[in-house]
Chains A and B, each alone.
Chain A
Amino acid sequence: MKRFFLHLSLSLLLFGSLWFGLSQINWIGILGLDILTQKTEQKLEDLLWDAIQDSEEICDDTQANEALQSMWTRMCEANQLDPNSVQVHLVNNDEINAFAMPGGHILIHSGLVQTLESPEELAGVLGHEVAHVQLNHISKKLAKEVGVSILLSAAGGGSAAGEAIKEILSQLSSSAYDRSLEKEADLKSVEYLKNAGIKPSALIGVMEKLETEIQSDLPSWLGSHPDLSERKEYLKKATENIVLTEKPVLDSAAWEGLKTACD
């Protein structure tokens, strides 16, 4: 057995040294994998955004966009986020929905804004979607739900690209993330809101309010998200001890303007 342990130690040492030694080589650079990934991602982002612009009506109301931008800027400054990492867009669409896309585009449907009661609730939704962007959930979801081959086919152009783009957009806008990712995004949103002086319990309000919408079988933002009651529970736990000095997110005129911006 003594010889075995000697051999085992030497084998582990050899394996570890070889691994460590080879790790020092910049394989990613040599094989050009970084360029490939960045190029593919960039192309995919552009193609998806073009498809959205073709299929959705983005509201160009200046005041509404300024209101959304001010909400994002506040969240951004309070949480040391890169202001250019996200672009928030208001979409003229009655469906109660909001979703994040590759490239940091967050689309908020006017139907959702009209359903919400306060700008704090909208900030909660925004924080949740920002969290999906910041935590890199979108590429994880796409790789898992759509598949790497479809992503590459979409980015590669050609006849199959159109269908692939549709498939990706459908996944992004209509289905939920994994339960663990949703929880992560919810809790991150709580953190963003707290740091920005916005009451995080607004997110619970969103869920409670839209629960009735889900029951009425609307294809809603939260309708596709799993286990609403479970999410409310952990959000209550996460927010119950938070004490903060609240600062209004938007004044009532700006909020009303936002709600009617796409009319």
Chain B
Amino acid sequence: MISKTPFPYTPQEYETEKASNAYLMSLVVVIVGLPFPIINLIATWGYYMGQRKSSYFVRWHCLQALLSQISIVLINAFALGWTWSIILTDRSLSNAYLAYMAVAILYNLLEFAVTIVTAIETRKGKHLSWWMYGPLTQALCNPKP
């Protein structure tokens, strides 16, 4: 899920703090984001925009934190939509729905745990690359601002 990879340079203290905050941002808004999943994405996007002139290390982690919200937003939005459709329409509770909710909760917990670990390790100056989002961030993030 996450792997420690080498970074082109050793980040300084202020960089690790800013980079770590990008992950904390997604955790802080998680309570608001559960009923309204898009809030997570907006918050991390706002933080990324605020740091887009920062150093490569900071931008890289802000972008990874932002991109990692995409899957969680899609999964939670679908869960929310399905739940509302059960409440408001004649769609009934089904095994497929309950199974989806179980997988969605599992994914949320996993992402939550990985985000905490990444925030802590990034604060220590370690460069953690996520499964799927690491390679995407690497491809999208330009070393020069």
Q: State A28–B26 Cα separation when bound (angstroms).
A: 34
Q: Give the top 7 A-B pairs by smallest Cβ distance, nearest first.
A: A22-B99, A7-B132, A3-B135, A27-B98, A23-B99, A4-B135, A136-B90
Q: How far is the CB of A35 from chain B (nearest CB, A)?
A: 12
Residues of chain B lying within 8 A (CB to CB) of residue A7 = 131-132, 135
CB < 8 Å: which of A8, A26, A33, A140 contacts B90? Answer: A140
22 contacts between A and B (CB under 8 A): A1-B139, A3-B135, A4-B139, A11-B131, A22-B102, A22-B103, A23-B95, A23-B99, A23-B100, A24-B95, A25-B99, A26-B95, A27-B99, A28-B94, A28-B95, A33-B93, A135-B90, A136-B90, A140-B88, A143-B87, A144-B88, A148-B87
Residues of chain A lying within 8 A (CB to CB) of residue B106 = 18
Q: Which of A132-187 contact B (CB under 8 A)?
A: 135-137, 139-140, 143-144, 148
CB < 8 Å: which of B88, B93, B131 contacts A143? Answer: B88
Beyond A4-B132, A148-B87, whether A25 also contacts B95 by CB under 8 A is yes
Chain B CB within 8 A of A234 CB: no
Chain A CB within 8 A of B136 CB: yes
Q: State A144–B135 Cα separation when bound (angstroms).
A: 45
Instruction: Give the dominant DSSP class at B's interface.
Output: helix
Residues of chain B lying within 8 A (CB to CB) of residue A140 = 88-90
Docked-complex contact B136 and A15, CB < 8 angstroms: no
Q: Which of B79-106 contact A (CB under 8 A)?
A: 87-90, 93-96, 98-100, 102-103, 106
**CB nearest to B92 among chain A residues:** A37
Give the number of residue pairs across the A-B interface with Cβ within 8 Å: 59
Docked-complex contact A18 and B103, CB < 8 angstroms: yes
Residues of chain A lying within 8 A (CB to CB) of residue B112 = none
**CB nearest to B136 among chain A residues:** A4
Docked-complex contact A28 and B93, CB < 8 angstroms: yes
Residues of chain A lying within 8 A (CB to CB) of residue B88 = 140, 143-144
Residues of chain A lying within 8 A (CB to CB) of residue B94 = 28
Q: State A1–B138 Cα separation when bound (angstroms).
A: 8
Q: Which of B2-55 contact A (CB under 8 A)?
A: none
Residues of chain A lying within 8 A (CB to CB) of residue B100 = 19, 23
Q: State A250–B106 Cα separation when bound (angstroms).
A: 61
**CB nearest to A180 among chain B residues:** B89
Docked-complex contact A19 and B98, CB < 8 angstroms: no
Q: Mark B117-145, 1 if CB is under 8 A from A, else 0.
A: 00000000000000110011001000000
Q: State A135–B91 Cα separation when bound (angstroms).
A: 11
Q: State A140–B98 Cα separation when bound (angstroms).
A: 20
Q: How far is the CB of A146 from chain B (nearest CB, A)?
A: 12
Q: State A174–B133 Cα separation when bound (angstroms).
A: 54
